[in-house]
C-alpha cells in the first residue's frame, strides 16, 4: 500500500484556489491513501465566529467534501482532509475521509488548540478507524498529537495507519510526538502539515512544514521541507503495524497494565 502527504500553503479564504493547488500537487505522484492538511481549503486563522460560519459547510453535502469525492474518483484513491464543518448551530474543526465510492466518515477534532476554542466546539465523535483497501485507517487532527490517549485509542481499535491532517505551529514538537505515537503504538503515521504565515488577529502564526510519514519503528519514511509546498509518498507494509512485539517477551499492546492506570 502507498500513502501520500500533501503539504500546502493555503491562501486564507481562497477555497477554490486552495483546492486547485491540491489537485495540481496530488496529480504529481500516486498513492492509495492521501492525507491533506487541517483546514486545507479555508486557511486556519479565523478572526470571528461569523467568518467561520461563512466558510463552514455541512458534512457530507458541502462543496469541499464533494470536491474531495470528485478528486478521489479521478485518482481512484482515498483522501483524508481537514475542513470547517457546520452542524446546525455548532462549528467543528473536522477531517473527512472520502473514497471513490463517496463520503465515508467525519472526525471532529477532540482537542482544540488556542483560539480554535473561540469558534469551534470540541469534537464529539469517537476516534474513528475505517477500512481502506487492506488497511485500517484512524484519524487525528493536529493538536490531538499531544494527547497519547487519542492515538492509543485508535491503536486499540485496530488502526494500522493514523492519518493526521495538521497546521502545526510549534517547531518540531508535533513531528516528534507523532514519531513517538508511531513507536509506542506500532502504527504508521502520516502527518500532512501546512507552511506559510497567517497574521489576521494580532497573533502571528508560522506553520512548520516538515510533513512526514513514519513507520511503526519510528523511522521517517518521507519528510517534506520546512518551507514550500510539497508532495511525498511511501510504500508501507501493513504487517509491520500488525505485529506489536518488540522481542520474544514484549508486546506493545499486550503488555499494557490498564488496572494500574485507573486514577
Ligand atoms: C493545531 O492544532 N492546529 C496546532
The average pLDDT across 116-129 equals: 96
Q: How many CA atoms lie within 13 A of 245 on its CB side?
A: 5
How many domains does one find in the chain? 1
Report percent pLDDT > 90 for the chain. 99
245 Cα–ligand 1 center, Å = 32
In the structure, what pLDDT confidence band is assigned to residue 46 with cuts at 50, 70 and 90? Answer: very high
Range of the domain at 35: 2-261
C-alpha cell at 262: 485507573
Residue 30 among the catalytic residues: no
Pocket test for ligand 1, best of 167, 175, 195 (most atoms within 8 A of CB): 167
Given the residues 85, 106, 109, 116, select the one marked as catalytic: 109
Tell me the DSSP string of 210-247.
--EEE-TT--EEEE--SSS-EEEEEE--THHHH--BSS
168 Cα–ligand 1 center, Å = 5
184 Cα–ligand 1 center, Å = 22
The number of the ligand 1 atom at minimal distance from the alpha carbon of 143 is 2
The average pLDDT across 25-50 equals: 97
Structure confidence at residue 239 (pLDDT): 98
C-alpha cell at 248: 520474544
Structure confidence at residue 100 (pLDDT): 98
C-alpha cell at 77: 484513491
Residue 106 among the catalytic residues: no
Q: Name the residue among 206, 210, 214 with its Cα closest to residue 225.
A: 210
Q: Which residues line ligand 1 (CB under 6 A)?
A: 38, 113, 142-143, 167-169
pLDDT in tens, 157-205: 999 999 999 999 999 999 999 999 999 999 999 999 999 999 999 999 9
CATH of the domain at 245: 3.60.110.10
The number of the ligand 1 atom at minimal distance from the alpha carbon of 109 is 2
The average pLDDT across 1-5 equals: 98
Structure confidence at residue 146 (pLDDT): 98
Q: Mean pLDDT of all residues in the chain?
A: 98
Structure confidence at residue 184 (pLDDT): 98
> From atom 3 of ligand 1, which residue's Cα is the shortest distance away?
167
220 Cα–ligand 1 center, Å = 21
Amino acid at each position: 500500500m502507498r500513502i501520500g502527504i500533501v503539504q500546502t500553503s493555503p491562501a486564507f479564504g481562497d477555497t477554490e484556489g486552495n483546492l486547485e493547488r491540491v489537485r495540481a500537487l496530488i496529480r504529481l505522484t500516486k498513492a492509495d491513501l492521501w492525507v491533506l492538511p487541517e483546514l486545507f481549503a479555508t486557511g486556519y486563522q479565523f478572526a470571528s465566529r461569523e467568518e467561520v460560519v461563512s466558510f463552514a459547510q455541512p458534512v457530507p453535502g458541502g462543496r469541499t467534501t464533494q470536491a474531495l469525492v470528485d478528486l478521489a474518483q479521478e485518482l481512484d484513491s482515498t483522501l483524508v482532509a481537514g475542513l470547517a464543518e457546520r452542524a446546525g448551530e455548532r462549528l467543528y474543526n473536522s477531517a473527512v475521509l472520502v473514497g471513490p465510492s463517496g463520503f465515508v466518515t467525519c472526525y471532529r477534532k477532540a482537542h482544540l488548540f488556542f483560539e480554535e476554542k473561540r469558534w469551534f466546539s470540541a469534537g464529539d465523535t469517537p476516534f474513528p478507524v475505517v477500512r481502506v483497501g487492506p488497511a485500517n485507517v484512524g484519524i487525528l487532527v493536529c493538536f490531538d498529537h499531544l494527547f497519547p490517549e487519542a492515538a492509543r485509542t485508535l491503536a486499540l481499535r485496530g488502526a494500522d495507519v493514523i492519518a493526521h491532517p495538521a497546521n502545526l505551529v510549534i517547531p518540531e514538537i508535533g513531528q516528534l510526538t507523532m514519531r513517538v505515537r508511531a513507536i509506542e503504538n506500532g502504527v504508521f503515521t502520516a502527518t500532512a502539515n501546512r507552511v506559510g504565515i497567517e497574521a489576521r488577529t494580532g497573533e502571528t502564526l508560522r506553520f512548520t512544514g516538515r510533513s512526514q510519514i513514519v513507520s511503526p519503528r519510528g523511522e521517517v519514511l518521507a519528510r517534506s521541507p520546512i518551507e514550500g509546498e510539497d508532495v511525498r509518498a511511501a510504500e508501507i507494509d501493513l504487517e509491520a503495524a500488525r505485529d506489536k512485539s518488540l522481542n520474544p517477551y514484549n508486546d506493545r499492546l499486550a503488555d499494557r497494565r490498564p488496572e494500574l492506570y485507573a486514577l
